[in-house]
């Protein structure tokens, strides 16, 4: 019995090895392509534990795992020409999945890198065709969604031949090339400068109209103010004359005295003027006799307005 234990152990190890080489596991998000001598014999799309013939190293049965989930492929800096001869630089990406593992294995040997290389060529051509049918502004307008759908529809037949299904195509970036950017900038600058000149001309025209209207209003206001001031001055002069006349009627002697005092104050101020007059002059009447009254027919002392008329004889 003891001599049989090594044999049993070897047999058990061989059985375990055969079992291990005959079992494969398909995870969620994976698909398994079962090959026998390089030919596809089965495809497992559901997760689980499956069996195959052992000894894959003898080219009996082998398993190739491929993705079942949606994958993304990016394509950057594609130079495309729009209608009119101008160029854009476009970044885009494709969302795809392996829908037919048999076709995928037959077309690209199950290699994702090879499939994406072929998609790159087809996506580049589709973008050039779609952009070439649009003008310069359409590529940046709301028509962009229509353009992405057109690119997707053009890619789908080629992708189907690779065993792929195109879920979506998105344009991430659309930029002007350096030379087109400079041309666009120069054109926009010229347009803005022209618009600025138009606005400046309109502003100057409006300023001139406002200035002319303001000048006219100033002249009208000043004229009206001068008119009112002349009217008020005339009314004041009339009221002044009426007041003087009324005062003279009430007390002629006091009024003469008041006017004489004003005349003295004006004539005898501190200007340094020397006046040569006779002491008997009527001008000095109130100096001789402050209580005297003018005799009938004699004029009172000169009024304030008449005092400056006295001519100086000599200067001190």
Is residue 222 one of the residues assigned to a domain? no
Q: Within this chain, do residues 22 and 10 fall inside the same structural domain, yes or no?
A: yes
Which residues is 92 bridged to in the sheet? 75, 171
Average pLDDT (108-135) is 88
Is residue 188 one of the residues assigned to a domain? no
Q: Does the structure show a pLDDT above 80 at 138?
A: no
Q: How confident is the model at residue 310 (pLDDT cuts 50, 70, 90)?
A: very low
**Predicted local confidence at residue 291, as pLDDT:** 52
Burial 82-113 (b: 16+ CB within 10 A, else e): beeebbbbbebbbebbbbbbeebbebbebeee
- Indicate the pTM of the whole model: 0.51
Radius of gyration of the chain (CA): 59
Environment class of 169 (CB within 10 Å of its CB; exposed 0-12, middle 13-18, buried 19+):
buried
**Predicted local confidence at residue 307, as pLDDT:** 37
Q: Who wins on pLDDT, 135 or 115?
A: 115
Q: Within this chain, do residues 282 and 302 fall inside the same structural domain, yes or no?
A: yes
Q: Within this chain, do residues 262 and 286 fall inside the same structural domain, yes or no?
A: yes
Q: Which domain holds residue 17?
A: 5-67
Is residue 225 one of the residues assigned to a domain? no
Is residue 245 one of the residues assigned to a domain? no
**Predicted local confidence at residue 199, as pLDDT:** 93
Q: Who wins on pLDDT, 176 or 58?
A: 176
Is residue 145 one of the residues assigned to a domain? yes
Q: Within this chain, do residues 104 and 128 fall inside the same structural domain, yes or no?
A: yes
Q: Within this chain, do residues 86 and 174 fall inside the same structural domain, yes or no?
A: yes
Q: Within this chain, do residues 26 and 57 fall inside the same structural domain, yes or no?
A: yes
**Where a domain ends, among 125, 154, 182?**
182
Q: Within this chain, do residues 54 and 128 fall inside the same structural domain, yes or no?
A: no
Q: Within this chain, do residues 80 and 36 fall inside the same structural domain, yes or no?
A: no
Cα 138 from Cα 132, distance rounded (Å):
11
As a whole number, the mean pLDDT across the chain is 79
Cα 269 from Cα 312, distance rounded (Å):
13
Q: Within this chain, do residues 114 and 12 fall inside the same structural domain, yes or no?
A: no
- Please count the helices (runs of H) and the strands (runs of E) in the chain: 7, 10
**pLDDT tens per residue, range 153-185:** 999 999 999 999 999 888 888 777 777 667 777
Q: Within this chain, do residues 133 and 100 fall inside the same structural domain, yes or no?
A: yes
Is residue 88 one of the residues assigned to a domain? yes
Q: Does the structure show a pLDDT above 70 at 134?
A: yes
Q: Taking a C-beta distance cutoff of 8 angstroms, is the pair 261, 221 a contact? A: no
Q: Within this chain, do residues 260 and 298 fall inside the same structural domain, yes or no?
A: yes
**Where a domain ends, among 182, 200, 231?**
182
Q: Does the structure show a pLDDT above 90 at 147?
A: no
Q: Does the structure show a pLDDT above 80 at 129?
A: yes
Average pLDDT (39-46) is 85
**Predicted local confidence at residue 133, as pLDDT:** 85
Total domains present in the chain: 3
Is residue 177 one of the residues assigned to a domain? yes
Q: Calculate the alpha carbon distances from 156 to 26, 72, 247 in Å.
A: 28, 15, 118
Q: Who wins on pLDDT, 298 or 247?
A: 247
**pLDDT tens per residue, range 178-234:** 776 677 778 888 999 999 999 999 999 999 999 999 999 999 999 999 999 999 999
**Predicted local confidence at residue 20, as pLDDT:** 66
Which residues is 80 bridged to in the sheet? 88
**pLDDT tens per residue, range 75-107:** 888 888 887 777 888 888 999 999 999 999 889
CATH number for the domain that contains residue 94: 3.30.479.30
Cα 94 from Cα 105, distance rounded (Å):
20
**Where a domain ends, among 156, 182, 208?**
182
Q: Within this chain, do residues 177 and 75 fall inside the same structural domain, yes or no?
A: yes
Q: Who wins on pLDDT, 2 or 265?
A: 265
Is residue 187 one of the residues assigned to a domain? no
**Predicted local confidence at residue 71, as pLDDT:** 92
């Amino acid at each position: 019995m003891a001599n049989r234990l090594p044999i049993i152990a070897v047999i058990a190890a061989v059985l375990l090895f055969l079992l291990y080489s005959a079992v494969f596991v398909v995870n969620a998000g994976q698909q398994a392509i079962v090959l026998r001598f390089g030919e596809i014999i089965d495809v497992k799309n559901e997760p689980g534990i499956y069996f195959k013939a052992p000894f894959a190293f003898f080219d009996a049965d082998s398993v190739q795992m491929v993705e079942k989930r949606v994958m993304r492929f990016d394509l950057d800096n594609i130079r495309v020409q729009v209608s009119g001869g101008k160029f854009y630089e476009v970044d885009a990406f494709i969302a795809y999945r392996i829908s037919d593992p048999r076709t995928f294995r037959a077309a690209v040997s199950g290699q994702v890198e090879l499939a994406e290389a072929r998609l790159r060529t087809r996506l580049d051509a589709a973008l050039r065709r779609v952009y070439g049918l649009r003008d310069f502004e359409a590529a940046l307008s709301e028509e962009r969604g229509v353009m992405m759908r057109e690119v997707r529809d053009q890619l789908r037949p080629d992708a189907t031949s690779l065993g792929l299904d195109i879920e979506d195509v998105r344009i991430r970036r659309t930029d002007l090339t350096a030379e087109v950017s400079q041309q666009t900038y120069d054109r926009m600058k010229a347009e803005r400068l022209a618009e600025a000149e138009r606005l400046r001309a309109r502003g100057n025209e409006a300023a001139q109209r406002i200035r002319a209207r303001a000048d006219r209003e100033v002249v009208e206001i000043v004229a009206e103010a001068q008119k009112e001031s002349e009217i008020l001055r005339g009314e004041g002069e009339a009221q002044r004359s009426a007041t003087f006349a009324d005062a003279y009627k009430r007390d002629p002697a006091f009024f003469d005295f008041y006017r004489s005092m004003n005349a003295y104050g004006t004539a005898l101020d501190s200007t340094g003027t020397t006046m040569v007059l006779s002491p008997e002059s009527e001008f000095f009447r109130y100096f001789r006799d402050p209580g005297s009254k003018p005799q009938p027919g004699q004029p009172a002392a000169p009024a304030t307005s008449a005092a400056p008329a006295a001519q100086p004889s000599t200067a001190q």
